[in-house]
Amino acid sequence: MKTVGVLGGMGPKATVYFNNMIIENTEAKCDQDHLNMIVSVHSSIPDRTAYLLGKSRENPIPYLIKDAKMLEQAGCDFLVLTCNTSHFGIDEIEKSVSIPIINMPKEVCEIINKDDRIKKVGLMATIGTLKAKVYERYLKKEMFHASDEINNKVMDLIYNKVKVGKKVSKEEFYNVLNLFLDNGCDVVIMGCTELSVIISDNHLENDEKIIDSMKILVDKTILYAKK
């Protein structure tokens, strides 16, 4: 079995959620059947969106490169990055180590690109992820470009609710999700792992309109580790 290195802490709650999902989705009959993981919860890494929007001069990527090298030296066979926005620097991080990194946005888009039923895609994400075109780089479908008003509502869920430890109700979440569906989106990507926490809290995993980036990362991680 391969050892997984987790570049986490962005945010801490989403990292814990990722770890729990790995355990819950691994077919195991004893401790030894579970994945070997070394988890870095580096919560003080500078905010990714603030940097991308020019509100902070601190580039988070050098911190992630340092952590990636640390995990490689600790014996990890591959890495995962549990923050969608941080993937704006995935090329630099990949070049800094000799072990592979599972690219979450790329994996999500590959699944969507293969589904002929999906014509138009929505993306709920940080404004940093949107600005850096983290998903558009890989998506071959039509993407709905939400207004600033809609994107600010998404940011409110992420920064003013989940990141500060507040629960988001099913009604609050669907009030925002429906703004995308009402504009013709066949599916909506949860392009921020804080949004994945909302999905879990409200047991919305079976909603076929929702593409949960964290769940896809979890599945790919388990398959890669057990290959």
The domains found in the chain, sorted by start residue, are 3-103+216-226 (3.40.50.1860), 105-213 (3.40.50.1860)
Write down the pLDDT at residue 15. 92
SS3 33: helix
The residues annotated as belonging to the active site are: 83, 192
- Under the banding of pLDDT at 50, 70 and 90, the label for residue 107 is very high
Q: Which of 103, 164, 159 is nearest to 135 (CA)?
A: 103
Encode pLDDT of 41-95 as tens digits: 999 999 999 999 999 999 999 999 999 999 999 999 999 999 999 999 999 999 9
* Whether residue 202 has pLDDT greater than 90: yes
Write down the pLDDT at residue 11. 85
Write down the pLDDT at residue 13. 87
Write down the pLDDT at residue 178. 98
Give backbone dihedrals phi and psi of 187, rounded to 5 degrees, phi first: -140, 160
Contact assessment for residue 200 and residue 162, using Cβ atoms and an 8 Å cutoff: no
Write down the pLDDT at residue 227. 58
Question: 48: which residues sit within 8 A by CB, 6+ positions away?
Answer: 10, 60, 83, 85, 86, 88, 126, 128
Write down the pLDDT at residue 14. 87
Question: 116: which residues sit within 8 A by CB, 6+ positions away?
Answer: none
What integer is the mean pLDDT of 2-10? 96
Return the C-alpha torsion angle 29, 220, 12, 91, nearest 10.
150
Percentage of the chain with pLDDT > 90? 96
Write down the pLDDT at residue 185. 98
Write down the pLDDT at residue 125. 97
H/E element holding 121? strand 120-124
Say which range, 10-19, 101-110, 122-131, 174-183, has the weakest mean pLDDT: 10-19
Encode pLDDT of 10-33 as tens digits: 988 889 999 999 999 999 999 999
